Amino acid sequence: MKKVSLILTLMLIGVVLNAQTDWSKVDFIKQYKVQTKMPGGVAKSFRENPTYVNDYYINQASLMKGSSQPGIMQKQGVGAVFSEVALGGVSAEALQKLIDELHAQFIEELKGIGLNIVDGKAIVEAAMADGKGEKKNQIVGMTDGQPVYDKVSIMEGSTIKEQNIFRPNQKYVYMTNAKIPGNFYQKVSKNENVNMISIGYTIGFASFEGSKTMSKNRLTTTAGLSITPTIYIVNPKGLFAWITFNKPVEGNNDWSKGLEETDSRDGSYWGLSSKGEYSLSADEAKYVAELKAIVSNLQKDLAAHIKAEIN
């Protein structure tokens, strides 16, 4: 009888560990410790002025790198170990279709809380007439539905080496990636008397876990879907606001088919990455469905949160 009970207990534990998160039941604002800075002037401006979603994007990691560094208690000569892995099986076409759908949903969510949403055409056309669309660190114009490849400089704590940036097709974008944007946003927001919202999602797909003995380092690479939202707001008076998620959303990983070795460092076969000796192969339909479930439900909570902040 005890043996049967033990088997049932182990089966129950297995079911719990493999249970998929129902994202429609998650309180994203509370669970992910969202913090908001929204001055009263910004809240008032949302109620009185039109709003333009000036940038909406997905940064999809395509190549990630982890490491396990030597510890001070290990033997002399023990070196670091590294793991570099590409995302396999997910096409640019599938992610482009996804972001088109998610952007449309977000616009409807914002309209649903009473915001007057404009498409930004007048803003972008005026900026292009002033020559702003020609600078390297800016995007001013209409999107063409093509992802932008970006080789990321590894910063402390980051594991993303390459990413592809997706934006909804045929939408007006007004953005800069300059570290000090100056009055890039404030000036146009004031001239057009419009609030501006930028929202993006950085998506990782791999998790790296190091382990050490006195004489050896090990590094394990597994599927690890994570989403980190970034939200910035500016109003016509140049006041900035932001909404910060203090920890990333960690998704379900049943999309993963496991780690596969490629026959060269040419990762063109995988579609999004420029290289990679190994790939985490994905079931595209499951991967995209998980992203859609997370972001679509997150955006509902985000819109409700903005409504609570401005009322």
User: What is the residue-averaged pLDDT of the chain?
Assistant: 84
Domain-embedded: residue 32: no
Domain-embedded: residue 28: no
Domain-embedded: residue 36: no
130-182 pLDDT, tens digit each: 776 667 788 999 999 999 988 876 555 678 989 999 999 999 999 998 877 76
86-144 pLDDT, tens digit each: 898 899 999 999 999 999 999 999 999 999 999 999 999 888 887 766 677 889 999 99
Residue 268 has pLDDT above 60, yes or no: no
Contact between 124 and 142 (Cβ < 8 Å): yes
Question: Which pLDDT does position 154 carry in this prediction?
Answer: 57
Contact between 159 and 65 (Cβ < 8 Å): yes
Domain-embedded: residue 190: yes
Domain-embedded: residue 8: no
Domain-embedded: residue 27: no
Domain-embedded: residue 53: yes
CA 242/CA 32 separation, integer angstroms: 15
Q: State the residue range of the domain holding 283.
A: 46-310
Domain-embedded: residue 62: yes
Decide which of 228 and 220 is more confident: 228
Angle between helices 184-192 and 121-129 (to 10 degrees): 120
Residue 210 has pLDDT above 70, yes or no: no
What is the total count of domains within the chain? 1
